[in-house]
Homo-oligomer: A and B are copies of this chain.
Amino acid sequence: MITRTLAELAEILDAELVGDPAVTIRGVAGIREALAGDVTFIANSRYESYLHETRASAVICAHTSPSAPLPLLKVGNPYLAFQRIVRLFRPDLHRPEPGVHPTAVVAPDAVIGDGVSIGAHCVIEAGASIGRGTVLMPRCYLGEAASVGEDSYLYPGVVIREECHIGDRCIIHPNAVIGADGFGFAFDAGRYHKIPQVGNVIVGNDVEIGANTAIDRATTDSTRIGDGTKIDNLAQIGHNVNVGRHCIIVAQVGISGSTELEDYVTIGGQAGLAGHIRIGTGAQIGAQSGVSKSVAAGETVFGTTAIPIARFKRLNGYIQRLPQIWEALKKLESRMQRAEQEAGNPQEKERVP
């Protein structure tokens, strides 16, 4: 069992320790589940009320956190600090041994780096290559002339089709599909004719791709995912999409063909982007939004069809007041009618229905 004193943790995290430096920590847990001996964290102020209820022995929190009846490790970025503590107390236990499982089917000309682990029932086709230290868990498929870089980790059921390329230190979750055909058909004479999808997918370094996510190959050329981008589960990335570096794409997002994301774009869950548009650096797209036009760098948009969030909120405020608008309008009509009657004016018969 790994143990550390709060004094040691404070040094590791460069934290301000408020409390007894001799307290011993043996594990990490969420604030509601933590027990004595655990360190926990608060990254979201809505959980501060738990400071007085938690059974944890210490809490990692922001410098601005309120005082609490237990030791605090105050840091600039509690979530980042928690990440380091989790890695400390829970080193990865599940890394399989290097080697090729006897049930895996590996083409004779595949290039397999040092320390690679290829699990049971994997299939590695001709001309594929796998970089040093990469793990393929059982039942992964790597197509002809496809490649995975170094120190990447593919979970069970991942399919990477022919000629697609994955970078270094990538993580691909179960049953994700990289390089399926883009969805392109030409209509003629009463039926759809398939446009062959002869491009590929190129995924950069340090990319994470969620379970059951699909990233389609390009019609020609490449669909690209930039370095450091993180994609959640069940997302759909269409053909010839170009995603920049350090983007966040939350679960069930759909991005249509040929759309471009610059760097540091964040897309909330279930949002959909039309094809052939451009999302500028640092733009943020709200959950469930439907984006039909390009979004400028730094802008935050929301709604279907998406508009700048300040305008969305303003319009939504008026929608909430529609019953009052309606009542005010009817009252004004009555007053007008009375005024016209008293002035002896010809009366309007038509009313709001």
Checking B79, B144, B156, B186 against A195 with a beta-carbon cut-off of 8 angstroms, the contacting residue is: B79
Checking B28, B155, B336 against A159 with a beta-carbon cut-off of 8 angstroms, the contacting residue is: B155
* A328 CA / B352 CA spacing, docked (Å): 6
A270 interfacial contact with B, CB 8 Å? yes
A173 touches B162 (CB 8 A): no
> Whose C-beta in chain B lies nearest to the C-beta of A273?
B269
| B-chain residues with CB within 8 Å of residue A155 when the two chains form the complex | 159, 161, 180
Q: Mark A234-277, 1 if CB is under 8 A from B, else 0.
A: 10101010000010101110101000000000000110101010
* A159 CA / B201 CA spacing, docked (Å): 24
B287 touches A274 (CB 8 A): yes
B77 touches A105 (CB 8 A): no
| B-chain residues with CB within 8 Å of residue A214 when the two chains form the complex | 173, 210-212, 233-234, 251
Determine, out of A5-13, A16-24, A314-322, the stretch whose residues face the partner at the interface. Answer: A314-322
What is the oligomeric copy number?
Answer: 3
| B-chain residues with CB within 8 Å of residue A221 when the two chains form the complex | 29-30, 32-33
* A161 CA / B138 CA spacing, docked (Å): 11
Which residues A131-184 have CB closer than 8 A to chain B? 137-139, 141, 143-144, 155-157, 159, 161-162, 171, 173-175, 177, 180-181, 183-184
Known contacts A272-B269, A318-B323; decide if A103 and B105 are in contact (CB<8 Å): yes
* A32 CA / B32 CA spacing, docked (Å): 53
Provide 13 A-B residue pairs closer than 8 Å at the C-beta atoms, listed in order of the A residue: A30-B221, A103-B105, A103-B121, A123-B139, A141-B156, A181-B208, A185-B230, A234-B254, A315-B323, A318-B323, A321-B353, A328-B351, A338-B345
Interchain residue pairs A-B with the least CB separation, the first 8 = A318-B322, A80-B186, A180-B211, A159-B174, A79-B186, A177-B211, A214-B233, A211-B214
